[in-house]
Amino acid sequence: MRVLLVDDEDEMVTALAERLSLRGIEADWVSSGEDAIARVTDKKYDIVVLDVKMPGMSGLETMEQVQKLQPETKVIFLTGHGSVSDFNLCIEAGASFYLMKPTNIDVLVEKMDEALKEN
């Protein structure tokens, strides 16, 4: 499984990438939506894990661009600023899951597996 993590909290995203790598998951990370689009343009990902609120391009805007470039790539939101309205927007826009930080790494991996089984 190849995953791209997108979050402006560098310490959190690097730690998450390391923990996923220990589980045999290839995890790249970037700290902005703009950088995510550049990565997705150059490399195929099975899943993109996005923060909702980031400086510059938001998670929703990033997801829209990812879906245009790689329609088969699944998107999971992982946010520390969750709300019912954000949840509804993200799921309606096509996200597989919307999770709150901090999330147990096993729960995240389970949701990634579930997302890949979606049609």
Q: Is residue 118 part of a domain?
A: no
Residue 71 pLDDT: 97
Q: Are 118 and 73 in contact (CB under 8 A)?
A: no
Per residue in 46-91, pLDDT tens? 999 999 999 999 999 999 999 999 999 999 999 988 788 889 999 9
CATH of the domain at 25: 3.40.50.2300
Domain range for 105: 2-113
Q: How far apart are CA 62 and CA 82, in angstroms?
A: 17
Residue 81 pLDDT: 81
DSSP string, 11-47: HHHHHHHHHHHHTT-EEEEESSHHHHHHHHHHS--SE
| Whole-prediction pTM | 0.94
Q: Is residue 119 part of a domain?
A: no
Kindly state the DSSP code that residue 31 receives in the 8-state scheme.
S
